[in-house]
Amino acid sequence: MRKGKIKKDFWENKKVVVTGGAGFLGKHLVKNLHKLSPQKVIVPKYPKYDLRKFEDCLKAFQGTDIIIHLAANVGGIGYNKSHPAELFDDNILISVNALRAAKQTGVQKFVGIGTVCSYPKYTPVPFKEENLWDGYPEETNAPYGLAKKMLIVQSMAYRTQYGFNSINILPVNLYGPGDNFNPKSSHVIPSLIRKFVEAKKNNRNEVVVWGSGKATREFIYVEDASKGILLACEKYNSSDPINLGSGFEISIKELALLISKIVGFKGRLSFDKTKPDGQPRRRLDISKARRKFGFRARTKFKSGLKKTVAWYLSQL
């Protein structure tokens, strides 16, 4: 059996809870999980289960073998800027209570999904896992990034004191069909797709992009991320965080030009430098995931972007 191959027999007779399973990544992961035929896949949904409350986590996790913890309050740079307190409060409560409840209900394994936003603002590129503790995150993302980062500390503490098996995965920005295109909370790719599609539809001659366009980002297609999480769940058993990415870096300006070309927008592109760039550069060192569980992102960026644009247009 190849290292990067998901083993169906691992999932036999397993009861799996996917928190956040109704979200963007969650829907893809749940779909792929069902293909592996576990005994049961459970998605605890709000408001029946408010994972900020410990008692609701206990109820959601009873009789479960594996928790894949995706649930989070999350959004793009504008949302981070206007909701820092909510992002900190919600994410720290969700994560702390989820891991506490998993341990208390006898779960075999807890898979925590963190964020690239936990890395320091100025981190040597590509970001290595050992650099995670070397500084303060980019200010706009800090409340969210630090709240999520505490799950790693909690995971290490629980492993040390209780021998509890939990792991921590740090994915880069996701994109793909089913993404959040709400302009109030979307990340950069769906935000730009929507802007260019609307500009073309309304015959506008200009699209304005936040920031200078010089900042860079790495993106991973949602189906690749889903596979990486399932592989880690099977094969990785350490509380030390592990990066999940594609190894591909692109500037926001290049990204905007590529999306405009795919959409067919013929107008002008300008940048609003009064708006924040966020972290200057972002690309992960993904060698550890390749080494530990054979993960490699397969989707070419342009191909994934075309699929994402096509999906968005199909929803209009």
pLDDT tens across 215-248, in order?
A: 999 999 999 999 999 999 999 999 999 999 999 9
The rounded mean pLDDT for the chain is: 96
pLDDT of amino acid 2: 57
According to DSSP, the β-strands at 216-221 and 249-251 are antiparallel
Phi-psi region of 118 (alpha: psi -120 to 50; beta: other; left: phi over 0): alpha
Any catalytic annotation for residue 144?
yes
Q: What is the pTM of this model?
A: 0.95
Average pLDDT of the residues in 279-285: 94
Q: State the catalytic residue, choosing from 49, 79, 144, 312.
A: 144
pLDDT tens digits, one per residue of 50-105: 999 999 999 999 999 999 999 999 998 899 999 999 999 999 999 999 999 999 99
pLDDT > 90? residue 4? no
- What pLDDT, in 10s, does the model give residues 164-204? 999 999 999 999 999 999 998 999 999 999 999 999 999 99
CATH number of 11-176+219-247+282-298: 3.40.50.720
- Least confident piece of the model among 143-152, 188-197, 253-262, 272-281: 272-281
Q: Is 195 annotated as a binding residue?
A: yes
Q: Is 116 annotated as a binding residue?
A: no
Average the pLDDT over 276-287 and give the result.
94
Domain ranges in the chain? 11-176+219-247+282-298
Whether 267 shows a pLDDT value over 90: the answer reads yes
Q: Are 38 and 31 in contact (CB under 8 A)?
A: no
Is 21 annotated in a binding site? The answer is yes
Give the span between the Cα atoms of 208 and 191, in whole angstroms.
11
CA–CA distance, 60 with 83 (Å, rounded to integer) = 27
Is 28 flagged in the annotation as binding? Answer: no
173 labelled ligand-binding: yes
Question: Which of 1-15, 66-80, 232-246, 283-297 comes out lowest in average pLDDT?
Answer: 1-15
Q: Is 163 annotated as a binding residue?
A: no
Per-residue pLDDT, averaged over 144-159, amounts to 98
Neighbours of 226 (CB within 10 A): 22
Angle between helices 252-263 and 301-314 (to 10 degrees): 50
